[in-house]
Amino acid sequence: MRRWLRHHRYAFLVAVRRLLSQPFSSLSNMLVIALTLATPILTASILISAQPVARQVSVSPEVTLFLKPDAPSSTAQQIAARLQADYAEKISAVRIAPRAQIYSRLKQDPAWADALAALPGNPLPDAVVITLKEQPDLARDAAALVQEWKKWREVDRVQHDSAWVQRLDAILGFVRVGLSMLAAVVALVVLATVFNTVRLQALSQREEIAVARLVGATEAFVRLPFLYLGALTGIVSGVAAVILAALALTPLNAALARLASSYGTQLALQLPDALSLALAVVVVAILGALAARWSVTRNTRF
């Protein structure tokens, strides 16, 4: 066990020495990986920060049925009763918005009063506002119900008040796919960069590797410093990527805060939680070590 630890300590120190012996080259490689990794971290930040917005809005999805203007006043009552009877499983509440009530409320609003005064009568239809029950596949269910209710004879138009949430969900889905592709790009960049770094290191350490083999070093002994080199490159790059992403969030959040305040709300992007970030760094370190192993196996056959 102590011998094993001594080997690892030796390999670690050799890897650090090799990194420090070519500081500019090492830093350049790390910067490339860090910048590449910072992009999906920022994308994840946007995804994580936007998801609660969609979730929060979709807790009370409403569908409004606007009845035909010539429909008798009892029609709204009949439709409300029909909805409660036939769709009890999917509906949590039904509310009638009588045209007269809405008209008088709008007339009290100075923004609408003048426009309404110019009209010969009440142009508004009766409306039935339906609150749907929360369920896992709400967006798809709501869309199906909207299509069904549009066909009703008494109904003139159906407004799905949470349709924009669906759009947001679709955008987030798109971003999620984009994030997966970015993660794949990061993996490729890590593999290619570390592979090439280790290839150059292996070539420049040719003599040392030959001497180590001459005095009885196993292939594992020869490879271990390169594995540490790959893993260290991954760790340093990963940490640098998190720092870069955190730095980039400051101006982004300042701009976002101005935009959100114009809508009377507050919104700020947040980095993924510490565990996810640590996991990302570990994954990059493992990828670095794997690339190093692949490279050193291919490039030290002499």
Partner 1 sequence: MIEFQHVFKSYGRGRNILADINFRIEPGEFVFVSGPSGAGKSTLLKLIGGLEPASRGSISVNGRRIDQMPPRARPYLRRAVGVILQDTHLLYDRNAMQNVMLPLTVIGLENSVAVTRSRAALEKVGLLGKEDMKPIELSGGEQQRLAIARAIVNRPSILIVDEPTANLDQDTARRIMEVFRDFNRVGVTTLIASHDRALMASYATRTLRIDAGRFTDMQGVAA
Q: Which parts of this chain interact with partner 1 (CB under 8 A)?
A: 2-4, 6-7, 10, 207-208, 210-219, 221
Shortest reach from residue 4's CB to partner 1, in Å: 7
Nearer CB in complex with partner 1: 185/217: 217
- Helices 138-150 and 163-204, axial angle in degrees (round to 10): 150
Residue 109, classed as helix, strand or coil, is: coil
- Confirm if 257 and 269 have CB atoms less than 8 A apart: no
Shortest reach from residue 42's CB to partner 1, in Å: 41
Shortest reach from residue 228's CB to partner 1, in Å: 15
* End-to-end CA gap in the chain: 31
Nearer CB in complex with partner 1: 88/203: 203
Question: How far is 233 from 213, CA to CA, in rounded Å?
Answer: 25
Nearer CB in complex with partner 1: 114/207: 207
Nearer CB in complex with partner 1: 89/207: 207
Question: How far is 165 from 206, CA to CA, in rounded Å?
Answer: 60
Nearer CB in complex with partner 1: 23/216: 216
Shortest reach from residue 21's CB to partner 1, in Å: 9
Strand 127-132, strand 91-97: pairing: antiparallel
Q: Collect all residues with Cβ–Cβ distance below 8 Å to 223 and sequence separation of at least 6.
A: 293, 296, 297, 300
Shortest reach from residue 2's CB to partner 1, in Å: 8
Shortest reach from residue 298's CB to partner 1, in Å: 16
- Token pair of 134 as six digits: 């929360």
Nearer CB in complex with partner 1: 109/219: 219
From the number of C-beta atoms within 10 Å of its C-beta (0-12, 13-18, 19+), residue 251 rates as: exposed
